Each structure stands twice: as C-alpha cells, then as structure tokens.
Amino acid sequence: MPELPEVETTVRLIRPSLVGRTITGASVAWRRTVGERSFEARVTGARIVSVWRRAKYFVIQLERDGSPAGSLVGHLRMTGRVIVEPASQATPDYGKVALALNDHHVMHFVDVRKFGRLVWHADAAAELADLGPEPLGDEFTAAWLGEALRERRRVLKPLLLDQTFVAGLGNIYVDESLHRAGLHPLSKSERVKPAQAAVLHREIRAVLADAIEREGSSFDTFYRTPEGNPGSYQDQFRVYGRDGKPCLACGATI
C-alpha cells in the first residue's frame, strides 16, 4: 500500500497540472470508488484551488464562484494511481474515475483491485481530523515523540503504524526507521528512553525525506508515479523484504 512518500510524490507531480483548472465533466466507471450518486454534480464546474497531502491521503480542494466547494479526498490503497494526460489519449486500463479539465486534459483515477477511493467531502480537514501529527511537520518533535511513546504503553511497531498516533507511516518506513534507530519492533514503547526517541525521530524524518527524493518505493508492479515511473527507494532497503539475507549493518541473518 502506498505510504507517505508515494502519496507525497503523487501530489507533487499532479499539482502543477491541476491547480487553477476547472472540472468540466466527470465519469465514474466504478461507483464504490466515489461512494455517492451525486459525485458528478458535486465536482462538475468546480475549480481546483490546491492539491495537498495528509497522511496517506491526497486532497484536491475545490471552489465554485469564489466560494469553497468541498474537496476530493483520495486514498490509493493497494493499487491506485492518478494520471493527468491529454484528453486525446485513450482511457487507461482499469480507469475508475475520469475528471475532464478545461485545458483539454483528463485526470484519471486508475485502480486495478478497486480498493482505492476518491470521495467528495464538504470539509476535508474535519474528515481527517482524527489523524496523528505529520512526521515531517512542526508538531512532530523528538520531545513529543518521547513523551507520547511513554504514555501509550504499547508495542512499538504497531503503535507507529497507528494513523491516529503518527500519520502516514506504513510497514516499509516503520521497519526501515526502527532498524536505523536500533530499536526492536516488538519493544514496549514506554521503555524507549528519551535519547532513543530522539534517534528514532531523526531516522523517521531521514528515511521519509530520502524516500520522497527517490519518488517512493516500487517493490511490486503496481506503484508508479503519475508519470509512469517506478520509485527507487527499494534499492536502499536495509531490512524491509530482506528476510533471510545478511544485515547490512552487522552481517547477521535478518
């Protein structure tokens, strides 16, 4: 499932093609992707004013006649992908939603396994309010992390995967961050010392920044950027998916 770096990459690449454009029409091939019958009416005629990410979600903010008109909140799930291309090109395989734009381009939401979602919400921020702090944001400090780990008293890896605790992390980047910080995934969070929490904070940020720079991880055939390219962070994995192989740090079998 795409995690924070993959969704951030998607947002950065589609933003220039969407902001300022008006949605002139909508076509839905798989109704569960959008969730409601009024989806087409909600978005047609709306202007895209911003595109941003929250955790593993991407948000396309809309306005109509200068007033807020809700947002599209998307989740790629396992196999979702967003493509913006000229309207003259053929509809891509597995296209579930198509949004026609006033510059003769179309935004396609493509999803092989049909788990992804692109849903209209009146208030995206309220819809996503239960998520934890962004690990690359100002609220996520080493001091906060150390205190929050001690308060939760949970197993470390499941806690970091909890989106209400920290937003956007999944198996790949939690595994890589814990390994780089020298912390066992099954450690109890309340036993993590402040100095260890500071190292973990640093490594989470470093892993995410490196993964974003490399446009995410493509360890299967599904994740591709909106431009159709694979990410390359999988070439940097130290532990994820390396079961039975020697540790790059100590040489022991993972």
Active site residues: 2-3
Residues 166 and 137: their CA atoms lie apart, in Å, by: 11
Cβ distance 205 to 250 under 8 Å? no
Cβ distance 185 to 172 under 8 Å? no
Residues facing residue 74 across a β-bridge: 58, 118
Could you give the C-alpha distances from 248 to 179, 187, 233, 236, in angstroms and in order? 10, 21, 16, 11
Tally of CB atoms within 10 A around 216? 28
Phi, psi of 100 (to 5 degrees): -75, 135
Of 190, 160, 189, nearest to 175 by C-alpha is 160
Full DSSP string of 123-168: -HHHHTTTS---TTSTT--HHHHHHHHHHH-SBHHHHHH-TTTSSS
